[in-house]
């Protein structure tokens, strides 16, 4: 299974097998690759693949592990390492290992054995997806299925690692979302963008493909969002409430257009609607949660689709396993981003993505995207 996780290109029908993290203590000073291969009884080429993708961490002083993981050997090794190396917190912070990394005796090793892969990163024509380059920014049309930042077990397959120069993340899109992503070429560019955003000078427009027999009403849509909702056995998500509740924050979006798309009904198993919305606020998963709350969940959204309800109804109660992170594309595209000058009238930047995936003749739905990755 570990070898399958690292296969490139990935085998047909590949699915991420779920997390598996191994914790080791180095019995002697040696190369990290050798210690991991021995400790987990893995072939050297598999360990090399784990290290190359960024799934192996090491630090000289074992960190203080949570109670569920702590044991007498690890506690003893930590105390011995503290005496030898000192209590500098940098020495007990696990860092990604390279193929030449050497671990001292007693060092802590962490191995993410089941790497979460993003094969769309290798399939994408990144040169064709470059929308613009300025002195301050690099603007990319992010494909769905690729995260913007690196992840804890995968430092290779992301938007930010596709560039030939170090870039700074200015904002993010969900992995299952496509469209305009702005990366900063320096810290000053990041600060300037954040200043513009905080002062309301950044306008974000999205294209949606959502379920529904009748288009939603045009105009302002407002809810009160509970971000970071946790249900055992379900991913963290946001819940849109009609009225204020403790711990919620007001969120709004403007539905600027909404048209039925009968040509796509057969592909998506029922009537769907193509919408254009403009964000008024920017909360986590705001569009996905709000559209589900008015009975128009986004196509392919297995996280918020089960939460769909009619306006005025109470939020849907879900149980363990009811909600799942989307593995493929959802009907959401960051279509346009406009940055205004401080005078509020002059347009500094206007970045637009091409037509979304659901309008492409060769890409009629998430099923097509799945087959294109095989």
Interacting residues of 54 by C-beta distance below 8 A, sequence separation 6+:
96, 150, 153, 154, 155, 156
What pLDDT is attached to residue 3? 58
316-349 pLDDT, tens per residue?
888 878 999 998 899 999 999 999 999 988 999 9
What pLDDT is attached to residue 371? 40
User: 274: alpha, beta or left, given left = phi > 0 and alpha = psi -120 to 50?
Assistant: beta
232-249 pLDDT, tens per residue?
889 999 999 999 999 999
Task: Provide the residue count of the chain.
Answer: 374
Shared domain for 69 and 202, answered yes or no, is no
Shared domain for 147 and 276, answered yes or no, is yes
Shared domain for 155 and 91, answered yes or no, is no
Shared domain for 146 and 265, answered yes or no, is yes
pLDDT over threshold 50, residue 306: yes
What pLDDT is attached to residue 344? 87
Percent of the chain exceeding pLDDT 70 equals 89
What pLDDT is attached to residue 11? 43
Residue range 143-161: mean pLDDT, rounded: 95
Interacting residues of 364 by C-beta distance below 8 A, sequence separation 6+:
264, 267, 358
19-63 pLDDT, tens per residue?
789 999 999 999 999 999 999 999 999 999 999 999 999 999 988
Residue range 367-374: mean pLDDT, rounded: 40
CA 49 to chain centre: 22
Shared domain for 253 and 323, answered yes or no, is yes
Residue range 126-151: mean pLDDT, rounded: 95
200-222 pLDDT, tens per residue?
999 999 999 999 999 999 999 99
Report the mean per-residue pLDDT for the chain: 89
pLDDT over threshold 60, residue 78: yes
Shared domain for 238 and 305, answered yes or no, is yes
Shared domain for 64 and 125, answered yes or no, is no
pLDDT over threshold 90, residue 310: no
Give the residue, 349 or 9, on which the prediction is more confident: 349
pLDDT over threshold 50, residue 374: no
Q: Which two tokens stand for residue 209?
A: 């493909």
Shared domain for 245 and 306, answered yes or no, is yes
Domain span at residue 192? Answer: 120-372
Q: Which of 112, 147, 162 is the last residue of a domain?
A: 112
Shared domain for 98 and 164, answered yes or no, is no
What is the total count of domains within the chain?
2
Q: Which two tokens stand for residue 29?
A: 């000073």
Closest CA to 211 of 130, 275, 119, 134: 275
Residue 262 is part of a domain; what is its CATH number?
3.30.2350.10
160-181 pLDDT, tens per residue?
998 777 899 999 999 999 999 9
Shared domain for 47 and 169, answered yes or no, is no
Q: Which of 112, 141, 174 is the last residue of a domain?
A: 112
Shared domain for 129 and 46, answered yes or no, is no
Q: Which of 81, 112, 143 is the last residue of a domain?
A: 112
Shared domain for 83 and 35, answered yes or no, is yes
Confidence of residue 127 (pLDDT cuts 50, 70, 90): very high
Give the residue, 196 or 8, on which the prediction is more confident: 196
């Amino acid at each position: 299974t570990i070898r399958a996780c690292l296969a490139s290109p990935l085998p047909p029908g590949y699915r991420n097998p779920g997390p598996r993290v191994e914790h080791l203590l180095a019995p002697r000073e040696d190369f990290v690759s050798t210690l991991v291969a021995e400790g987990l009884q893995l072939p050297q080429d598999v360990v090399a693949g784990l290290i190359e993708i960024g799934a192996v961490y090491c630090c000289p002083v074992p960190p203080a592990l949570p109670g569920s993981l702590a044991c007498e050997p690890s506690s003893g090794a930590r105390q011995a390492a503290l005496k030898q190396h000192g209590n500098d917190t940098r020495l007990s912070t696990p860092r990604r290992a390279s193929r030449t990394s050497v671990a001292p005796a007693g060092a802590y090793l962490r191995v993410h054995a089941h790497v979460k892969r993003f094969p769309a990163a290798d399939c994408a024509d990144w040169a064709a997806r470059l929308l613009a380059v300025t002195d301050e920014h690099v603007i990319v049309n992010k494909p769905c299925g690729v995260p913007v930042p690196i992840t804890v077990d995968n430092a290779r397959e992301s938007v930010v690692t596709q560039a030939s120069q170090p870039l700074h993340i200015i904002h993010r899109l969900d992995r299952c979302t496509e469209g305009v992503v702005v990366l900063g070429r320096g810290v000053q560019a990041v600060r300037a963008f954040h200043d513009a955003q905080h002062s309301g000078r950044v306008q974000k427009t999205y294209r949606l493909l959502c379920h529904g027999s009748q288009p939603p009403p045009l105009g302002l849509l407002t809810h009160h969002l509970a971000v970071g909702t946790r249900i055992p056995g379900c991913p963290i998500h946001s819940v849109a409430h009609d009225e204020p509740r403790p711990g919620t924050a007001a969120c709004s979006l403007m539905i600027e257009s909404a048209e039925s798309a009968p040509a796509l009904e057969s592909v998506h198993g029922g009537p769907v609607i193509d919408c254009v919305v403009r964000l008024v606020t920017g909360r986590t998963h705001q569009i996905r949660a709000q559209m589900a709350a008015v009975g128009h969940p986004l196509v392919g959204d297995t996280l918020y689709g089960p939460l769909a309800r009619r306006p005025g109804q109470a939020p849907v109660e879900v149980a363990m396993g009811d909600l799942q992170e989307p593995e493929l594309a959802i009907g959401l595209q960051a279509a346009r981003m406009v940055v205004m000058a401080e005078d509020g009238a002059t347009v500094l930047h206007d970045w637009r993505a091409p037509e979304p995936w659901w309008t492409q003749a060769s890409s009629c739905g998430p099923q097509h995207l799945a087959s294109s990755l095989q």
